[in-house]
Structure 1
Amino acid sequence: MPRLTRELLLPVCRTLPLGVVGTAGGAGLLLAALTRITGETGERLSLQLLRAAVLAFALGLVFLLDDPARHTTATVPVPRPARIALRVALVVPATAAWWTAALLLVPPELRPPVADITLEAGAAFALAVAGAAVAVRCSEATRPGTRVAAGLLTSAVLAIFLWPGRWALFVPVEDDRWAAAHDRWAVVLGVAVLVGVLGAVEPLRRRAGGLRPAGGAGACRSRPLS
Structure 2
Amino acid sequence: MRTVDAALLRPTVRTMPWRAIGAAGALGLLLAAVPRLMGEGADGRLALNVLRASAVAFALGTAFVLDDPARHTTAAVPVRRAVRHGLRVLLVAPVAAVWWTAALLLVPAPVRPPAAAITLEAAAALALALAGSAFAIRRGDGARPGQAVAAFLLVGSVLGPLLTPGSWALFTTPDDTRWAAGHDRWAVLLCAALLVGAVCATEPRRRLTLRGLRSPSGTSGPSRA
1:4 paired to 2:8: no
Residues 35 and 42 in structure 2, CA contact (< 8 A), matched pair in contact too: no
Residues 133 and 199 in structure 1, CA contact (< 8 A), matched pair in contact too: yes
Match of 1:104 in 2: 105
Number of residue pairs the alignment of both structures matches = 217
Match of 2:170 in 1: 169
Unaligned runs of 5+ in 1: 220-226
Match of 1:34 in 2: 34
Please report the TM-score for the alignment, with normalisation by the length of structure 1: 0.91
Describe how 1:146-161 pairs up with structure 2 within 5 A: 146-161=147-162
Match of 1:222 in 2: none
Match of 1:57 in 2: 58
Cα deviation for residue 215 of structure 1 reads 4.0
Give deviations 1:196-218, integer Å, cap 9, x for gaps.
00111111137x68x94544267
Looking at structure 1, the residues matched to 98 and 219 of structure 2 have their Cα atoms a distance apart, in angstroms, of 58
State the structure with more CA Rg.
2
Match of 2:78 in 1: 77
Match of 2:132 in 1: 131
Looking at structure 2, the residues matched to 133 and 150 of structure 1 have their Cα atoms a distance apart, in angstroms, of 15
Give deviations 1:176-214, integer Å, cap 9, x for gaps.
1111110000000110100000111111137x68x9454
Unaligned runs of 5+ in 2: none
Please report the TM-score for the alignment, with normalisation by the length of structure 2: 0.91
Looking at structure 2, the residues matched to 37 and 123 of structure 1 have their Cα atoms a distance apart, in angstroms, of 27
Residues 159 and 169 in structure 1, CA contact (< 8 A), matched pair in contact too: no
Equivalent AA in structure 2 for residue 14 of structure 1: R
Looking at structure 1, the residues matched to 180 and 169 of structure 2 have their Cα atoms a distance apart, in angstroms, of 11
Residues 27 and 54 in structure 2, CA contact (< 8 A), matched pair in contact too: yes
Equivalent AA in structure 2 for residue 200 of structure 1: A
Match of 1:179 in 2: 180
The percentage of aligned residue pairs carrying the same residue is 55
What is the DSSP-based 3-state SS (H/G/I as helix, E as strand, rest coil) of the residue aligned with 1:205? coil
Residues 66 and 145 in structure 1, CA contact (< 8 A), matched pair in contact too: yes
Computed over aligned residues only, the root mean square deviation of the Cα atoms, in angstroms, reads 1.7
Looking at structure 2, the residues matched to 25 and 200 of structure 1 have their Cα atoms a distance apart, in angstroms, of 25
Equivalent AA in structure 2 for residue 66 of structure 1: D
Give every structure 1 segment of 4 or more consecutive aligned residues whose post-TM-superposition deviation is greater than 2 Å.
37-41, 211-215
Looking at structure 1, the residues matched to 203 and 220 of structure 2 have their Cα atoms a distance apart, in angstroms, of 26
Residues 42 and 111 in structure 2, CA contact (< 8 A), matched pair in contact too: no
What is the DSSP-based 3-state SS (H/G/I as helix, E as strand, rest coil) of the residue aligned with 2:174? coil
